[in-house]
Structure 1
Amino acid sequence: MMNFSELSVISAFVMVFCGLWKFIGYYKHLLNSLLSLEFMMLGVFWLLSMQVTVMGGEVYFSLFFLTLSACEGALGLSLLVMIVRSHGNDRFSSFNLLEC
């Protein structure tokens, strides 16, 4: 029988791998890619916070990681807004690398 900590670690790894599978498999829209990246970051944050609490370390490192992932999300959303305004949609097939 598994205890709660082992089940939490397994579910965090499942979150990371499901996000990675979604990121690799479904790349038609930029928004889907950004959401899968955020899902992976949430799984990594969960693993990091569990590891810090088990080792008895400081929680500030996990808060720093959470701050950086929030900044990454804001940067991704601003990129999404810029692409939708310039191209009209967020499909990867409509992007032309030769346009300015």
Structure 2
Amino acid sequence: MWIFSYVGVGVIGVLFGLLCLVSQRKSLFGALLSLEIFTLMVYSSIFGLVYLWGGLSVSCLVFLTFGVCEAALGLSLLVSLVRSTGSDYVGGLVLGHF
């Protein structure tokens, strides 16, 4: 029975992460954090469903690997943006200067 609540928390977290992602307009760091919330909650939902169905946990490991790669790519983009412009505000960027 606790698996259903685990999946439910994951779905609520996905909705919360999506709401945070839509509301971020200025800072790239905030958008990346909301993407991490989104990825973590999707992972928890997948883990709950895989555990409920008794399937292989390799799919969870593959999804977690892709989440880590997404985080590393986002961090490198953030560092590149801060080095080139001096801040992580997306509104001040001109398309040709990045």
TM-score, normalized by the shorter chain, greater than 0.5: yes
Deviates more, 1:76-85 or 1:47-56: 47-56
Aligned match of 2:57: 59
Task: Select the residue among 79, 82, 85 that pairs with 1:84.
Answer: 82
Task: Give the gaps of 5 or more residues in structure 1.
Answer: none
Aligned match of 1:12: 10
Q: Root-mean-square deviation (CA), in Å? A: 1.1
1:23 aligns with 2:21: yes
Moved over 3 A (4+): none
Quote the offset at 1:72 in angstroms: 0.5
Task: Select the residue among 28, 33, 36 that pairs with 2:34.
Answer: 36
What is the number of equivalent residue pairs in this alignment? 98
Task: Give the gaps of 5 or more residues in structure 2.
Answer: none
Partner SS for 1:92: coil
The 2-side partners of 1:98 and 1:5 are apart by: 49
Higher relative contact order (CA 8 A, sep 6+): 2
Quote the offset at 1:26 in angstroms: 2.1
Q: TM-score, normalised by structure 2?
A: 0.94
Quote the offset at 1:92 in angstroms: 1.1
Deviations 1:4-24 (A, max 9, x none): 223222211111010000000
Give the percent of matched residue pairs that are identical in Structure 1 and Structure 2. 37
Matched residue type, 1:71: C
Task: Select the residue among 47, 50, 56 that pairs with 2:48.
Answer: 50
